[in-house]
Structure 1
């Protein structure tokens, strides 16, 4: 532990989560955005974004480790948990009986169990489910033909079924959701720009994920708000040790800046390119 205990934002899921810190991924962007944001000014340090992603996992495996990853007797309960399972569940069954496929009715019940467990942690723990995004079937099939994978059935029709089931469940049990299947397909040429391998998000795809998450956080009626612009900034006071401004008489306060990312949020764009800083 470094310094005081921080509020926890946990990303829980399969490889979409595990790889979210890679290639300017959506987890890394969120960690940057929230690196100086606190829940209560002078009462809490900035939020830590914790990665709990497991490549190849499905909802069945997730249910089996809920008590280990989210123990009910933990001293610190997460303020926000973002959950993604569905892509591997939605794969067609392998002839051998091996593989991550989970029948749709079981997937729904597994996601219900995950939501129930997370709700039981604390009245202040907020939950967001991310639905199954689309895939580039042509690229996936090319990988199969190249011998990278065994026989694998992964189609947009199956992704759509599991995505819709996740959204419907969230409406039923009052859990906030992000419809990634629809959001990704709003972008022109999404199949060629949003993925690195037909499945996992590229930098362009990750920006869509972040924009959708921030939209949900901005619109959610949560007290306190977990949207980054609504949260106070840690150590935000001006300092003579900040970088000198162009006028040579004042300093530039960088505390509200984010680095490297281009995020569309709340009808404004924060453009951070290379080492330039813009607020």
Structure 2
């Protein structure tokens, strides 16, 4: 009997760099307003890895677990060499009668661990980077929620707890974490030792830096994606130095590589 991951096809030419997350991952593909995280990665890894965007708008970790077998290819279809796991923005919503996005904090942490340890993921022995949800701007998010008939569904402080949970999971599992929450908050002038309300809270004055990084108080602007990309490369170089693009060879030879062409099968 074959394994649960057996299949009749052969792996593709390129190994994959798979981005698994919610709308912040999905929307990172957009280039109509400026810089996009996914296209930037795709160009950086061109001819080396296939960058695959599996961002799913509105998804939380519970939904991610329901579809993970369909998101992650079988090893015989493609090998996932690198992977980002980027959830929490929806899990951290407050529950409402018309929204099932909320995942309680203990369940969120447990779900993240289940995703990392899921057979569909472990079959690839991927190099994984966890990403925390970014902070939110309550004032801007409140205006967005009101147009949808909701009260404010997220808070700066609750989002902080979910970001901290991602960092805790990373420490527990020995995985690198891109702490986007702290990176953005430090840009916004946050001091870890400060006791006053967080930047982005309704009790604080509007924060120009968060407005520059967050397009609607939650999703990222091109400047936000640029900062995310720059800091991701720092984390990657520290955690997996052999996986930075310049350390990976081209899969097919350069046009002027005479030695490679002389040995290339006809």
Structure 1 length-normalised TM: 0.74
Distance 1:5 1:228 in 2: 17
CA distance in 2, matches of 1:229, 1:63: 33
Give 1:185 shift.
1.9
CA distance in 2 between partners of 1:232 and 1:5 (Å)? 13
- Per the TM alignment, residue 84 of structure 1 is displaced from its structure 2 partner at its CA by 0.7
Q: Which residue of 2 aligns with 1:134?
A: 135
Q: Does 1:68 align with 2:76?
A: no
Q: Any conservation in 2 of the 1:91–1:152 contact (CA below 8 Å)?
A: no
Distance between the aligned counterparts of 2:154 and 2:99, measured in 1? 15
Which 5+ residue runs of structure 1 have no aligned equivalent? Answer: 37-45, 240-279
Deviations 1:207-254 (A, max 9, x none): 1111121111111246xx111232235655669xxxxxxxxxxxxxxx
CA 1:111–1:229 in 2, change beyond 3 Å: closer, same or farther? same
Kept in 2: contact 1:14–1:85 (CA 8 A): yes
CA distance in 1, matches of 2:98, 2:128: 33
Using the alignment, how far apart are the partners of 2:121 and 2:176 within structure 1?
12
8 Å CA contact 2:142, 2:151 repeated in 1: no
CA distances 1:36-57 after superposition (whole Å, capped 9, x unpaired): 4xxxxxxxxx211001111110
| TM score, norm. by length of structure 2 | 0.77
Aligned-partner Cα distance in 2 for 1:17–1:34: 17
3-state DSSP class of the match of 1:52? strand
**Residue 170 of structure 2 corresponds to which residue in structure 1?**
170
1:232 aligns to what?
249
Equivalent residue number for residue 213 of structure 1 = 232
1:47-58 paired onto structure 2 within 5 Å: 47-58=49-60
- Segment of structure 1 superposing worse, 168-177 or 149-158: 149-158
Q: State which of 13, 18, 39 in structure 2 corresponds to 1:10.
A: 18
- How many residue pairs get aligned? The number is 224
Deviation at 1:148, TM superposition (A): 3.4
- After superposition, the C-alpha distances for 1:18-68 in whole angstroms (9 at most, x for unaligned) are 1011142211111122114xxxxxxxxx21100111111000000111122
Q: Which residue of 2 aligns with 1:85?
A: 87
Matching of residues 84-233 of structure 1 within 5 Å: 84-94=86-96, 96=97, 98-117=99-118, 119-123=121-125, 125-145=126-146, 147-188=147-188, 189-221=208-240, 225-233=242-250
Considering only aligned residues, what root-mean-square deviation do their CA atoms show, in Å? 2.3
SS at match of 1:56: coil
CA contact (8 A) 2:95 2:102 kept: yes
Structure 2 residues not aligned, in runs of 5+: 1-8, 189-207, 258-266
